[in-house]
Structure 1
Amino acid sequence: VALVGVTNSKGSGVPNPLAPRSHGIELLRLFRGGPKAMWALAEGLLWTPGNDGLCGVSLHENVRYLVTGSLHGAKPWVSACGFVRPWNSLTRKQRKGFQRLYQQGCRCSVRLQPGPNTQCEWETAFRGVEDCQEQYAMCVPQANSGCTWLGGTPYRNCLKRNSAALVEREEP
């Protein structure tokens, strides 16, 4: 997980929509990743599949992005299957989570279905109007070695809005 600034965008140089694209970047901060990730991102290129149909993403110059991805060889890759968002589009809770609290939750993970207590179930991913857990909460460890969603007033308000929207949909 890294915060990067995009310096330029370019294709592979080959007129082939299936060819990968690279984006020139400046690594601003590495929130999670080992020495290999640090080295790969410091090279200044971020790769993505060639088009949207292959989960490619378009990054805009002079915009800072929070990205998750993977290493393929020595190349860092991002795709629409990961998390790629402009930094200024994140909520205050999300930015705080990545800047200050992210490492605390490293032993916790998020799943779409129920799992062990070291995981948080992502219940708002496809329900309601807003994804409250993505925007306003963090999956963090509990004292009993389990994990839970941590949110505040904006999270609770979002859950209320979603509940109200679901009730409206069900009414004739």
Structure 2
Amino acid sequence: MQSAYHHLISLLFVFSSLHVNQLTDGCSCALSHPQDAFCKSEIVIRAKVVGKKLLGDGHFGTMRYTVKQMKMYKGFDKVQHVQHIYTSAFESLCGVRFEINKYQYLITGRVYNDKVYTGLCNFNEKWERLSPAQKKGISQRYQLGCNCRIKSCYNLPCLVTNKNECLWTDMLSHFGNSGYQSRNYACIQQKEGYCSWYRSTTARDKTTINATEP
């Protein structure tokens, strides 16, 4: 009974992290910019998945992935080093699937009882699929904008109503978190307290924030 209770709690942690647009047999998640995913996660790491084991605890089942952590970007105050990632064994309960010994992944999640939990609603992606700006955001930029609010725009007209907001319009083109803003911009707070989009370039990284840049 106690193990079933603990597993139910872990699923609630997974369900509470709504970061990626996904719909799989009842698992639905809200769209979110990768910066929001970073800021709302307790753990952000880059890791290679090297093994998995199905745990039959509780009524739902848990998949435990063994990972080789390459780098930790967030979560030093929670765990020193991540060795296992826990998720639901069922995609219908927002369980995420990783391929073994093939790719490095960016993995985000939450911590409960010193265990790291993730799911389909968290931002989990193959590292090679991330844009250079997203990699830069994860390592440096996103943490500078966690006091900002990224406001989603689904239908025009859309307006910012607070100085700490950045207007996110990728949904207008139906690309969501794979859209141009998501792949190239971070919402960063300036000294005056205003937040605006910041774009990193591959040729030379900018050192100032241009609020009017397209």
2:90 matched residue in structure 1: 51
Tell me: CA distance 1:110–1:33, structure 2 relative to 1, closer, same or farther (3 Å).
farther
1:117 matched residue in structure 2: 163
TM-score, normalised to structure 1's length? 0.74
Hey, what's the Cα distance between the residues in 2 that align with 1:108 and 1:35?
22
Instruction: Identify, as 1 or 2, the structure richer in helix.
Output: 1
1:20 matched residue in structure 2: 62
Is 1:85 the counterpart of 2:125 in the alignment? yes
Q: Report Cα offsets for 1:19-66 as digits up to 9, x if no partner.
A: 111110122211122421x33xx2510011111111111011222111
1:60 matched residue in structure 2: 99
2:190 matched residue in structure 1: 142
- Give the length in aligned residue pairs: 149
Hey, what's the Cα distance between the residues in 1 that align with 2:128 and 2:196?
26
For structure 1, which segment, 131-140 or 81-90, has the greater mean C-alpha deviation from structure 2 after superposition?
A: 131-140
Q: Greater relative contact order: 1 or 2 (C-alpha under 8 angstroms, separation 6 or more)?
A: 2
Hey, what's the Cα distance between the residues in 1 that align with 2:77 and 2:169?
34
5 Å matches for 1:101-116? Answer: 101-112=141-152, 116=162
Please list every run of 5 or more consecutive structure 2 residues that lacks an aligned counterpart in the other structure.
1-43, 154-159, 203-214
Hey, what's the Cα distance between the residues in 2 that align with 1:100 and 1:152?
11
1:29 matched residue in structure 2: 71
Please list every run of 5 or more consecutive structure 1 residues that lacks an aligned counterpart in the other structure.
155-172
Runs (4 or more) in structure 1 with deviation over 4 Å come to none
- CA RMSD of superposed structures (Å): 2.6
TM-score, normalised to structure 2's length? 0.61
Tell me: CA distance 1:129–1:142, structure 2 relative to 1, closer, same or farther (3 Å).
same
SS in 1 for 2:173: coil
Q: Report Cα offsets for 1:88-134 as digits up to 9, x if no partner.
A: 0101111122223233223334343656432433321x221432222
